[in-house]
Amino acid sequence: MRVLFANRLTVLFSALGALLVLFVAVPLARTVTASSPSLLWQTLLDAEVRSAISLTLYASFIATLLALICGVPLAYLLARVDFPGKGVVEGIIDLPVVVPHSAAGIALLMVFGRQAPLGQAFGLLGLRFVSAVPGIVIAMLFVSLSFLVNAAREGFEAVDPRMERVARTLGASPWEAFWRVSFPLAWRSILSGAIMMWARGLSEFGAVVILAYHPMVAPVLIYQRFESFGLAYAQPVAALMILICLVAFAALRGIPRRNRRMR
Amino acid sequence: MSLQVTDLWLDLGEFHLRGVNLEVTPGEYFVILGPTGAGKTVLLETIAGLHSPRRGRVLLNGEDVTHVPPERRSIGFVYQDYALFPHLSVAENIAFGLRLRGMGQKAVAQRVDEISRRLSLHSLLQRRPETLSGGEAQRVALARALAIEPSILLLDEPLSALDPETREGLQRELARLHRELGTTTVHVTHDFEEAVALANRIAVMNQGQIVQVGSPEEVFRRPESEFVARFVGVRNVFRGEIFPGDGGYRWLALEGAGRQGLRIAVLTDLSGSVHASIRPEDIVLSREPLHSSMRNSFRGRVVGILDRGALIYVTVRVPPDGVPPGATDFVCAITRPSLEEMGLEEGGGVFISFKASAVHIF
């Protein structure tokens, strides 16, 4: 490894890079450290805050679960099978990342809203999306599913297809080959994709706020307190959310990478 | 078990099979020899049922299995780069097929024990695949394939990823396993010497087609096409036995040469029954016996002259008055000026000489 300050080039690049790193780290650290631990604790005892945070964690968890059920099979297909229109499918999966999230919320409202056909159909089953938990879930699902599908696809792509073929010759049906070979080998990638998706779901504001201002998720609560009461009131809730996301992030980093590249 | 492939056609990306016909008899060691991209791997995978042919049939023991899925064909498959399951231990890798067959814990353990002893893998059973050397990994892959007692064993370039020394050892291991178990084996390779050393019969493959089938001797003595001749190369390949010698040399007694037959000085660590090859360019022709550092010098008779343009291939029979199989034919390559200078003609006497180090033993 080269010494960081070996010559003028690396010195200049270090300085420029450091600006960017500090730009991210300082505001986050400032927010977390601005409130005393006791104030954070008090905020946590606030019933409104607690229900917002637990709703956020729960809704994002359900969204991730839904994405696992449909996204892992899709990821496997994308990794293994060539079919016409595959590029289009991959593009659609990436689309939520580039669409403005408030626009995504509007788009969902057009389909799942009270007047929309699909919304009405679900309404008959007693499932309401506008200003309800299911609305929060689909908003989070929409904006964060790309992370899970792409991570799982990369995980499957790293599994040598010949490993599945050997399994087949050894007596495994396609199902057994998937469950005993491909899935366990791609599992770490799938798990890290799921955590990434969950964390992304937690932080969603734009799409959620369009479908459901109430019940209030934590990002909406932060915004509401900031608008109604000012910075001082919004800041402790923000600090709590940052801390929760940091924990998820640490978990993500903790997943060993040793099986990422397999023969 | 016998294997029959009739008129097999397949298109898979850049690989094609174009009307492949094969017939492998029970217990045979059959080698498919061909250059990279000839479609050898695809052919093996199609035999295993991993691809559906566009046309043609695959028969195992006379039974049409063309549309039977791979898991019901009882085939052992070994890939060039092992394809071991990295999330399982060596023992679990070997047990993989047995567990799928619903075998009980005890029976599985017993079978794993048995097969790992046969392949000297016993000390490695608890290891993870990533900690194995290439040779060890390939033996595990073999054990995994053989554990299910397959009716046929398919080997896809099983020695190509190994260093030369390991490769030689594993080649002997393959020969021994085949002797002991008698499993019908189809082995794919691009290495001519590997094919000669192991095969009962060789099929030469090119561009998705089988271009010649025959015993190793037939294939290199009588190539039926320009391609086979070029790919196999004109060369001298012999079978023989190694005997101890002195001064750092060993003696190779050529098979069929009789008791007081031809003995060639060679350099090798191998012993017992071996193959030997000498490149035609490494043999020196002369009208008079040569006094040189070359350890091997024999008197012979010219029995054939083949004009190949830049090089002339001269076939010399040793001893000069012998007839095969009691005599041995050496093919020697010389340039046209040398031929004219020496005035060689068929039936004439000549001396051949080559270094002990020019003989490749395998």
Q: Which residues of B touch A183 (CB under 8 A)?
A: none
Q: Which of B72, B100, B154 to mutate to test the interface with A (most CBs of A within 10 A)?
A: B100
Within 8 A of B148 by CB-CB distance, chain A residues are 170-171
The pLDDT confidence band at residue A256, using thresholds 50, 70 and 90, is low
Asked if residue B249 and residue B226 are part of one domain, the reply reads: no
Burial of B48 (0-12, 13-18, 19+ CB in 10 A): buried
Question: Which residues, given as ranges, of chain B have pLDDT below 70?
Answer: 234, 256-261
Q: Which CATH number is B350's domain given?
A: 2.40.50.100
- Count of helix runs (H) and strand runs (E) in chain A: 13, 0
pLDDT digits (tens, 9 = 90+) for A3-17: 777 788 989 999 999
Chain B's closest residue to A181, CA to CA, is B85
Distance to chain A for B79, nearest Cα, Å: 8
Claim to verify: residue B131 and residue B203 sit in the same structural domain:
yes
B45 and B81 housed in the same domain: yes
pLDDT of residue A260: 44
Tell me: do B229 and B242 sit in the same domain: no
Among the candidates B233, B252, B279, a domain finishes at B233
Q: Which of A170, A179, A182, A191 to mutate to test the interface with B (most CBs of B within 10 A)?
A: A170
The count of domains in chain B is 2
pLDDT of residue B247: 82
pLDDT for A112-162, tens place per residue? 998 898 999 999 999 999 999 999 999 999 999 999 999 999 999 999 999
CATH for B64: 3.40.50.300
> Within an 8 Å CB–CB cutoff, is residue A256 touching chain B?
no
Q: Is cis: bond before B324, omega within 30 of 0?
A: no
- Work out whether the CA dihedral B339, B343, B348, B352 comes out positive or negative: negative
Q: Do B87 and A173 touch (CB under 8 A)?
A: no
Q: Among B212, B233, B254, identify where a domain stops.
A: B233
Give the residue carrying structure tokens 């003609």.
Answer: B345
Contact B82 A181 (CB under 8 A): no
- How many residues does this entry show for chain A? 263
The answer to whether B79 faces chain A, any CB pair under 8 Å, is yes
pLDDT in tens, B215-233: 988 887 777 887 887 788 7
Q: Buried (b) or exposed (e) across A118-156, using 16+ Cβ within 10 A?
A: ebeeeeeeeebbbeeebbbbbbbbbbbbbbbbbbbbbbb
Residue given tokens 């200003």 in the structure block: A131
Maximum Cα interatomic distance, chain B, rounded to a whole number of Å: 77
Given an 8 Å threshold on Cβ–Cβ distance, is B100 in contact with A172?
yes
How close does chain B come to A258, measured CA to CA in Å?
11
- DSSP per residue, B163-186: -HHHHHHHHHHHHHHHHHH--EEE
Q: Using CA coordinates, name the residue in chain B closest to A182.
A: B85
Q: For position B258, what pLDDT does the model report?
A: 58
Beta bridge partners of B60: B3, B63
- Angle at which helix A183-202 crosses helix A231-254, to 10 degrees, equals 170
ipTM, two decimals: 0.80
Note whether B44 and B163 are same-domain residues.
yes
| B215 and B266 share one domain | no
In this structure, what are the phi and psi dihedrals at residue B37, rounded to the nearest 5 degrees?
85, 5
With CA atoms as reference, report the closest residue to B23 among B36, B44, B4. Answer: B4
Mutate which of B12, B60, B73, B85 to disrupt the A interface (most A C-beta within 10 Å)?
B85
Whether residue B77 and residue A160 make contact (CB cut-off 8 A), yes or no, is no
Asked whether B28 and B47 are in contact (CB, 8 A), the reply is: no
Residue with tokens 């799409």: A207
User: Domain spanning A43-254: which superfamily?
Assistant: MetI-like (1.10.3720.10)
**CA dihedral of B208, B209, B213, B218, whole degrees rounded to 10:** -90
Q: What is the mean pLDDT of chain A?
A: 91
Q: Is residue A191 a contact partner of residue B74, using CB atoms and an 8 Å limit?
A: no
Given this model, what pLDDT does residue A259 score?
Answer: 46
Q: Kindly report whether the peptide bond that precedes residue A215 is cis, defined as omega within 30 degrees of 0.
A: yes
Q: Give the list of residues 6+ apart from residue B89 with CB closer than 8 angstroms, or none.
A: B125, B126, B127, B128
* B106, B162: one domain: yes
What is the side-by-side strand order in the sheet with B29-33?
A: B75-78, B152-156, B184-189, B29-33, B201-206, B209-214
- CB neighbour list of residue A228: distance below 8 Å, 6 or more residues apart: none
Give the other-Cβ count within 10 Å of A44's Cβ.
Answer: 13
**Residue B69 contacts A where some CB pair is shorter than 8 Å:** yes
- Return the ∠ at Cα B106 (arms to B105 and B112), rounded to 5°: 90
Distance, in Å, from the CA atom of B157 to the CA atom of B170, rounded to the nearest integer, reads 12
Q: Is A261 on the interface with B (CB under 8 A)?
A: no
**Min distance B150 CA to chain A CA atoms (Å):** 9
CB contact under 8 A, B86 and A184: no
Range of the domain at B313: 237-361
Which of B349, B302, B299, B303 lies closest to B319, judged by CA?
B299
**Cα–Cα distance between B93 and B132 in angstroms, integer?**
13
* H/E segment holding residue B112: helix B105-118
Residues B180 and B317 in one domain: no
Whether A161 contacts chain B with CB within 8 A: no
Residues B357, B259, single domain; the answer is yes
Residues B187 and B246 grouped into a single domain: no
Average pLDDT of the residues in A208-225: 94
In this predicted structure, the answer to whether residue A219 has a pLDDT above a threshold of 60 is: yes
User: How far is it, in rounded angstroms, from Cα A192 to Cα A259?
Assistant: 13
Of the CA atoms within 13 Å of residue A45, those in its CB half-sphere come to: 6
Helix boundaries (H) for A113-230: 117-124, 133-157, 161-169, 174-177, 183-202, 206-211, 218-229
Cα–Cα distance measured from residue B245 to residue B267, given in angstroms and rounded to the nearest whole number: 10
CB contact set of B79 (below 8 Å; sequence gap of 6+): A162, A166, B141, B156, B157, B158
Q: Tell me: do B209 and B242 sit in the same domain.
A: no
Query: Is B97–A171 a contact, with Cβ atoms under 8 angstroms apart?
Result: yes
- Whether the Cβ atoms of residue A133 and residue A59 lie closer than 8 Å to each other: yes
Q: Is the pLDDT of residue A80 over 90?
A: yes
How long, in residues, is chain B?
362
The reply to whether A163 touches chain B by the CB within 8 Å rule is: yes
- CB contact set of A82 (below 8 Å; sequence gap of 6+): none
**B82 — contact with chain A (CB < 8 Å)?**
yes
Beta strand B152-156 with B75-78 is parallel
Please name every residue paired with B274 in a beta bridge, in sequence order, or none if there are none: B240
